[in-house]
Amino acid sequence: MSTDKNRATAAAILPLVGGPDNIGSIAHCMTRLRIALHDRSLVDDAGLRALPAVLGVVEDETYQIVLGPGTVARVTPEFEALVEEGRSAGTAPRTPVTAEELAAQGVALKEAQKARNSTPVKLFLRRIANIFVPLIPALIGCGIIAGLNGVLLNTGWLPGIVPALAAIASGFMSLIAVFVGYNTAKEFGGTPILGGAVAAIIVFPGVAKIDAFGQHLSPGQGGVLGALAAAFLAVHVERLCRRWVPESVDALVTPTLTVLVSGLVTIFGLMFLAGEVATAIGSAATWLLSAGGAFAGLVLGGLFLPLVMLGLHQALIPIHTTLIEQTGHTALLPILAMAGAGQVGAALAVYCRLPHNRSLRTTIKSALPAGFLGVGEPLIYGVSLPLGRPFVTACVGGAAGGAFVGLFNQLGVAFGATAIGPSGWALFPLLDGPSGLGPNLAIYAGGLLTGYLVGFAATYFFGFTPRMLNELNTDRPLAPAAADPAPEPSLAKI
């Protein structure tokens, strides 16, 4: 998208969210523009959904506009600039807005979806996800560098640069606990640097000299889970201090007590407990795939899309991160990525079954490249979910692809992804495992192909009733019948 188009998109969005004076704050994740609004009633939801660049909207603690990866990073600065210009001039920019393609996604179930995604558990999971989502770009970059370094190491090419690449790839992971602690304190209302300071204790080499109640500690024990718990504790200690410490000595006493109390609890309790939990997660994931094999893959691949719709997929983010920290990769992600393959296959079947529905076929053609690269939102919220049955058959395709990958895990060809975030074809550079690059690539490609084929066949033969075909195989616009995207911290996850 060119700069002019980015600015035009931003200019089209601004009046539909109430103009510059209605904007409290602006941020973005990998796929969504997140806006804090002063007055929610000023937002034109239908108008936003009608914009060609908008893939959907989400109501959460912030108002989220789904633009897709890459696009959101370019539109956000333009949007910020227009807000500042509008405030300075006292008027909001005006740009004509036109409706295209599937303009009203999810209107019928909007209120029900909002209520379902506002439960205490889901709100808590969203906050946990907000801690890890900002780390994803570094995980991706370091993961790709680690994969490249592995290729050079195995082939014997450029031996002089291998140690340097190893340092670049491993540096972030060796300190990830510090970043998790920083983000945890920031998310829960504490001083971020104090959260990072307490979490840094976990990775400090000197903890190897400490015995906690007869348990010998090791640097990194507890990992990101320990860092999250330590920083969360630090937030509450800091709040107590702010409440009781006199203002005259607050600047000296509060940080000292926060780090001291939280640090002692971390060393003599949280590191051991979080280490046990992390070990249990790693053992459970290994056992699940080695023992459950195809069945485990079928369940994981088939249920991932519904988990995304319910907002429960966010609980997997710290699990993925823990597995990467322990083994260097997460074996769950290649299986969960099969859900996106089923989605692509289903979309291709819809394209073939509705040859006269030009608007829907246009949507599919524009969204398929992103779908192959693992960005599922355009196909989910623009195609399969509004249609209903193709969403179910897409899950069938994901289950078949997951079963394929899970079967080979059970047979001993285990592999995973060195980072979270990418999916689909974009996951190929991040695959890693003891069996070698060739088998890893072949099995993952086989899983994708299985997901494509089964998703296509299931949708082609079972995705439409005769009545649906009669109503949809025309040039009339598709009636909305599904929910908006469930809130999440991430970017490309399908």
Residues annotated as part of the active site: 29
**Contact between 31 and 66 (Cβ < 8 Å):** yes
264 alpha carbon, distance to own chain's centre: 33
Helix (H, G, I), strand (E, B) or coil at 32: strand
Kindly tell me the burial class for residue 130, based on how many C-beta atoms sit within 10 Å of its own C-beta (0-12, 13-18, 19 or more): buried
Q: How far apart are CA 396 and CA 351, in angstroms?
A: 18
- Cβ neighbours around 461 below 10 Å, total: 11
Looking only at the bridges linking them, the beta strands covering 416-417 and 56-59 are unpaired
Q: How far apart are CA 144 and CA 142, in angstroms?
A: 6
Kindly tell me the burial class for residue 286, based on how many C-beta atoms sit within 10 Å of its own C-beta (0-12, 13-18, 19 or more): middle
**Contact between 323 and 329 (Cβ < 8 Å):** yes
Q: Which helix (H) or strand (E) holds 476?
A: none
Q: How far apart are CA 476 and CA 360, in angstroms?
A: 9
What residue type is 174 in one-letter code?
A: S
Interhelix angle 247-265/223-244, nearest 10 degrees: 150
For the chain, give the longest Cα–Cα distance.
Answer: 76
What residue type is 260 in one-letter code?
A: L
**Contact between 414 and 289 (Cβ < 8 Å):** yes
> Which of 396, 385, 294, 300 is closest to 345 using CA atoms?
396
Helix (H, G, I), strand (E, B) or coil at 175: coil
What residue type is 296 in one-letter code?
A: A
Interhelix angle 192-203/223-244, nearest 10 degrees: 140
Angstrom CA distances, 29 to 11, 25, 179, 491, stand at: 20, 14, 17, 7
Q: How far apart are CA 27 and CA 494, in angstroms?
A: 22
